[in-house]
Amino acid sequence: MKRVVITGAGTINALGHNVPDTLAAMREGVCGIGPLSFRDVERLQIQIGGQVRGFDAEGRYNRQQISLYDRFTLFTLAAAREAIEQSGLTFSGELSARAGVVLGTAGGGVSTWDDNYRAVYEEGKNRVHPFVVPKLMNNAAASHVSMEWNLKGPSFTVSTACASSNHAMAQAFAMVRSGMSPAMITGGSESMLCFGGVKAWEGLRVMSRDACRPFSANRNGMVQGEGAGIFVFEEMEHARKRGAEILCEVIGFAMTSDASDIVMPSKAGAARAIAGALEDGRINRDEVGYINAHGTGTAANDKTECAAVADTFGPHADNLMISSTKSMHGHLIGGTGAVELLACIMALRDGVIAPTIGYEEPDPECALDVVPNTAREAKVSVALSNAFAFGGMNAVLALRKV
């Protein structure tokens, strides 16, 4: 089995248009959530979100490219450029033939669906742009990354709702670890912040109208975000030989299915995923210093997740830190695990634990150290990143400081 390291990271989200700005915002406990701005927002009951602002597609791409790229693809390409440029890899010959791209998204081109349904249903038009299908398909972002960077190995898109990018990164990790590929581009993206995207979530009645306050007793729901997180997963020797900067090592993962309910999370399913990642990475429980929680800010998730962590870690649960950065960037749905992996990298590499902001009242059902409101300096050698999706599909990744 090969060892796998991360040699590049890129992002765009409500906290920043790149990794340094995003990590700086996480350290400062900045809230990227604010009033939503798009067509018909006044008809929504939920009018807040972690929207990406000031993103200029015209300055980055030509007209023909823009006609082909949904917003989730634009975000993905921006984050992929940052990650791949940081890694210093160029894909040609054998490396190009074996390197691929595995990304997560829950909805794909949601605003393309939305715009074109509006055109044909509301406006009564009988003709849509020829590129509607290649723009909205869930694999569009992965395909454009493969084309821009000459990635000709195994490439596909994973869609498991809120765990999509953790499942994608787990898959990419398994592919590099097995020796199938020397390097994989992985992560995920989402852009559901349009009228139809938010209206659909409104229907579930799990959305907060004012703030995302994970683990706080007065939490009242989740807040959507948008953006992308993309990473270069590379075989360790391959990275060392070329003198690449290593951000951290990926050491384990596990995936489980609750097989119980389409929306309610299960403590057992979450606990099995966490314990499975520890076993896969041969990690002692007391080595884990930080967990980036799924931490959606809903009543159901947060207490279930805390109970799963308490069950899995026993007494050590009181020594580790667990925070939810969704309080700052919102819930990026299929892209969320990717952006949240950045908080794990910051914990391991920089020794800074991102806080759970908006924390106001302790909840006895979430009685863990949730790093309330203020970032903390701490030495961490192993970090976990949790993602627990609707449909009961869970994926947990484990990272180690290098």
Partner 1 sequence: MSIKDQVIAIIAEQAMLEPQDVTLESTPEDLGIDSMGLVESIFAIEEAFDISIPFNANDPGASDFDISSVATIIAGIERLKAEQG
CA distances from 319 to 101, 314, 322, 342, 371 (A): 37, 10, 10, 22, 12
Strand partners, 400: 249, 382
Nearer to partner 1 among residue 55 and residue 131 (C-beta): 131
Q: Which of these segments, 56-64, 243-251, 259-267, 362-370, binds partner 1 (CB under 8 A)? A: 56-64
Q: Which of 31, 162, 212, 306 is catalytic?
A: 162
Told to check if 62 binds partner 1 by CB under 8 A, we report yes
Told to check if 124 binds partner 1 by CB under 8 A, we report no
Told to check if 129 binds partner 1 by CB under 8 A, we report yes
Q: How far is the CB of 134 from partner 1 (least distance, A)?
A: 8
Q: How far is the CB of 119 from partner 1 (least distance, A)?
A: 11
Contact present, 19 and 245 (Cβ < 8 Å): no
Q: Which of these segments, 57-65, 109-117, 142-150, 305-313, binds partner 1 (CB under 8 A)? A: 57-65
Q: How many residues are listed for the chain in this entry?
A: 402
* 151: CB partners within 8 A, 6+ apart: 91, 96, 99, 100, 101, 145, 185
Q: Which of 144, 167, 238, 294 is catalytic?
A: 294
Q: Is 316 a catalytic residue?
A: no
Nearer to partner 1 among residue 70 and residue 302 (C-beta): 70
Contact present, 331 and 222 (Cβ < 8 Å): yes
Residue whose entry in the numeric block shows the structure tokens 């800074």: 352
Told to check if 67 binds partner 1 by CB under 8 A, we report yes
Residue whose entry in the numeric block shows the structure tokens 């180690």: 400
Told to check if 127 binds partner 1 by CB under 8 A, we report yes
- Other C-beta atoms within 10 Å of 373: how many? 14
Q: Is 331 a catalytic residue?
A: yes
Nearer to partner 1 among residue 119 and residue 180 (C-beta): 119
Nearer to partner 1 among residue 139 and residue 171 (C-beta): 139
> What SS3 class is residue 248?
strand
Contact present, 21 and 28 (Cβ < 8 Å): no
Q: Is 294 a catalytic residue?
A: yes
Footprint on this chain of partner 1 (rule: CB under 8 A):
62-64, 67, 127, 129-131
Cite the active site residues.
Answer: 162, 294, 331
